[in-house]
Amino acid sequence: MKIVQINITCGSGSTGKICISVSNLLTTENIENYILYVSGKSSFPYGVKYASDKYIKLQALKSRIFGNYGFNSQYATKRLIKKLDQIKPDIVHLHNLHGHNCNLTMLFSYLKEQNIKLFWTFHDCWAFTAYCPHFTMVKCDKWKKECHDCPQLKNYSWFFDRSKFLFKEKKNLFQGLNLTIITPSQWLADLVKQSFLKDYPVKVINNGIDLSVFKPTESRFREKNGLIGKKVVLGVAFGWGVRKGLDVFIELAHHLPDNYRIVLVGTNDNVDKRLPANIISIHRTQNQKELAEIYTAADVFANPTREEVLGLVNVESLACGTPVVTFRTGGSPECIDETCGSVVDCDDINAMESEIRRICEEKPYSVESCLARSKKFDQNDRFEEYVKLYEDIGVRISKKNKIEHLL
């Protein structure tokens, strides 16, 4: 059995790391596999780059000019299809295809002709909308029937609104496939069942984290940052803004008592300019051990995200023994239960402040209960679910080939 994963990256970003984790598991099972990608550099032995960074940037520019997001990149797609022809995979596992890494018409026409078994992990909502990976904040549900007059057009096209055309093209292209859809959360699975993809089987496989890294980790973080005797409220994001709730933390900083201190991780110089003096800013770090130390030092992890497919930062916090309070939005509430955190209505800052105080002062959630919940998201178990799906298909392919041989 041969398996190919297609993604924007190989090893970088959340989806690129998922691809490598799945590949490593496949390799231990002696299953031949490859990752076809376009962005960045990777030394991963089974990664195959089929387009240059310069080429992809040009396709992104074309998309901005013409508004035809997902329907450029003809040259790259020819190279991608050539690689697939050479490998002759039994299974193709699609991840993110909205990094200008393929021409949808060319790729899906080929996949239909070859009748290749497809798995497609939706890491956001882009597959069943014209342009948008997310639409919760703009409260748009046009995708349920037909996208048009896109309310987020300026994020994707400078001149032309081709949302109606793109929606129809995707709807047509994504029919008649030998496809199983995978979503990281039940929330996203429920949306898929309201879309034009509702007739395909959908399986929920939560993303996972490395519990050998994210675990209670002692440090001198409090001493180094003058936090002895303080109630530490932690926020972690990579790309702070309204979507991640930066404004909520700024508001909380004005209302929480002096014995509370907010720590934000993943900031930058521009974000720093907006923060009040009583918020501690820590710029982005790739050091996961350091991040585990910060999670462990906090009294509560606050996640006022407004658009989230799952929210693994919640789980990272739990794995370090720190309870969570989050907005009721997307898949974020699925990370916790009544033993390790609480959920408040989206944009209810007063409720979030109340829960932060309750958790810090009453300490209703134990370290042990947080750790127990985090085990549900052990990456080894979650990625093993992918391998089981592949193996099931492999058995079917093997049986089919035996029958055809006998005939």
CA distance 406 to 197: 36
pLDDT band at 224 (very low <50, low <70, confident <90, very high): very high
Q: What is the dihedral of CA 12, 93, 191, 104, to 10 degrees?
A: 90
**Which residue, chain included where needed, has tokens 């492999």?**
394
Check whether 188 has a pLDDT greater than 60.
Answer: yes
Indicate the SS3 state at residue 14: helix
Check whether 403 has a pLDDT greater than 90.
Answer: no
Across the chain, mean pLDDT equals 94
Query: Looking at residue 86, what is its pLDDT?
Result: 97
22-49 per-position pLDDT tens digit: 999 999 989 999 999 999 999 999 999 9
pLDDT band at 373 (very low <50, low <70, confident <90, very high): very high
pLDDT band at 395 (very low <50, low <70, confident <90, very high): low
Check whether 313 has a pLDDT greater than 80.
Answer: yes
Q: Enumerate domains of the chain plus CATH numbers.
A: 2-208+379-406 (3.40.50.2000), 221-377 (3.40.50.2000)
Check whether 406 has a pLDDT greater than 50.
Answer: no
Query: Looking at residue 391, what is its pLDDT?
Result: 84
CA distance 283 to 164: 40
124-135 per-position pLDDT tens digit: 999 999 999 999
Candidate from 235-249, 272-286, 300-314, 361-375 with smallest mean pLDDT:
272-286
Candidate from 21-35, 99-113, 261-275, 382-396 with smallest mean pLDDT:
382-396
Check whether 404 has a pLDDT greater than 50.
Answer: no
CA distance 19 to 35: 7
